[in-house]
C-alpha cells in the first residue's frame, strides 16, 4: 500500500505551512487595526499560521549608530521574526496623513538588513480612509525591497467602532470569508515566488 495513514493518495499532499508575521501599527488597547490582525490570526486557513508581533511599543527609537553589534535586543527580535517569516502582514492607521511613528520606527530598524529584501508583504485596512498612509506605507515598503502583494485588497470598515461592535463585525461570516480569502491569495502569491 502506497501513502501515509490518513492521507488519501488520490488527493494532492497538504501544502507546507506558511508562517506569517502580522504587525499592527497602532498601540491603542482598543485598536481596530490590532483587532483586525487578531481576527486574521483566528481565521487563518489550515496552511497558514499568523503570528501577531507585539513588540512595537517596546522598540527603541531607531538610531543608525545602534546597528550591527549594538543592535538593541527588541530590534534584533523584530529582525529575526521578519527573517523567519514567510510573509509579513501590516495593518496600520493614518496619523496626520502619514504613517504613525511607531510603525515607521519598526520599519527603519529593518532598512539596512536583509530581512525585508524580497520578503512578501501584504497591507490590510481597518479604515476606509487612510489613503495617504496606505500610499506612503506601500512606497516605504517597496523602497525597502519588500515584495508587496498589491493584487489583494482586504478592507473591513472598523473606523470609530468600539470593541463589542468591532468583534461583532469581524465575526460576520462575509468578513471571516474575506479574511480567509485574502490570506489564501497572499499564500498563493508567496508560493508562486
What does the binding site for ligand FMN look like in residue numbers (CB under 6 A)?
26, 28, 31-33, 93-97, 126-127, 129-130, 159
CA distance 78 to 107: 10
Work out how close the CB of 33 gets to ligand FMN at its nearest, in angstroms, rounded to a whole number: 3
Nearer to ligand FMN, 111 or 157 (CB): 157
Work out how close the CB of 25 gets to ligand FMN at its nearest, in angstroms, rounded to a whole number: 7
Work out how close the CB of 28 gets to ligand FMN at its nearest, in angstroms, rounded to a whole number: 4
Nearer to ligand FMN, 93 or 120 (CB): 93
Cβ atoms of 107 and 79 within 8 Å: the answer is: no
End-to-end CA distance of the chain: 35
Judged by DSSP in three states, 95 sits in strand
Work out how close the CB of 24 gets to ligand FMN at its nearest, in angstroms, rounded to a whole number: 7
Cβ atoms of 140 and 148 within 8 Å: the answer is: no
Amino acid at each position: 500500500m502506497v501513502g501515509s495513514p490518513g492521507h488519501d493518495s488520490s488527493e494532492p499532499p497538504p501544502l507546507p505551512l506558511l508562517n506569517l508575521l502580522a504587525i499592527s501599527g497602532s498601540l491603542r488597547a482598543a485598536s481596530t487595526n490590532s483587532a483586525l490582525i487578531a481576527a486574521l490570526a483566528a481565521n487563518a486557513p489550515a496552511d497558514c499560521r499568523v503570528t501577531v508581533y507585539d513588540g512595537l511599543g517596546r522598540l527603541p527609537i531607531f538610531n543608525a549608530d545602534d546597528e550591527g553589534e549594538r543592535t538593541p535586543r527588541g530590534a534584533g527580535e523584530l529582525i529575526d521574526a521578519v527573517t523567519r517569516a514567510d510573509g509579513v502582514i501590516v495593518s496600520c492607521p493614518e496619523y496626520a496623513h502619514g504613517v504613525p511613528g511607531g510603525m515607521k520606527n519598526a520599519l527603519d530598524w529593518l532598512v539596512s538588513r536583509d530581512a525585508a529584501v524580497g520578503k512578501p508583504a501584504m497591507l490590510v485596512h481597518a479604515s476606509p480612509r487612510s489613503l495617504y498612509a496606505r500610499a506612503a506605507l506601500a512606497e516605504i515598503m517597496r523602497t525597502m525591497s519588500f515584495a508587496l502583494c498589491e493584487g489583494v485588497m482586504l478592507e473591513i470598515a472598523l473606523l470609530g467602532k468600539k470593541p463589542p461592535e468591532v468583534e461583532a463585525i469581524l465575526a460576520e461570516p462575509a468578513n471571516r470569508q474575506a479574511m480567509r480569502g485574502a490570506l489564501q491569495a497572499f499564500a498563493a502569491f508567496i508560493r508562486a515566488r
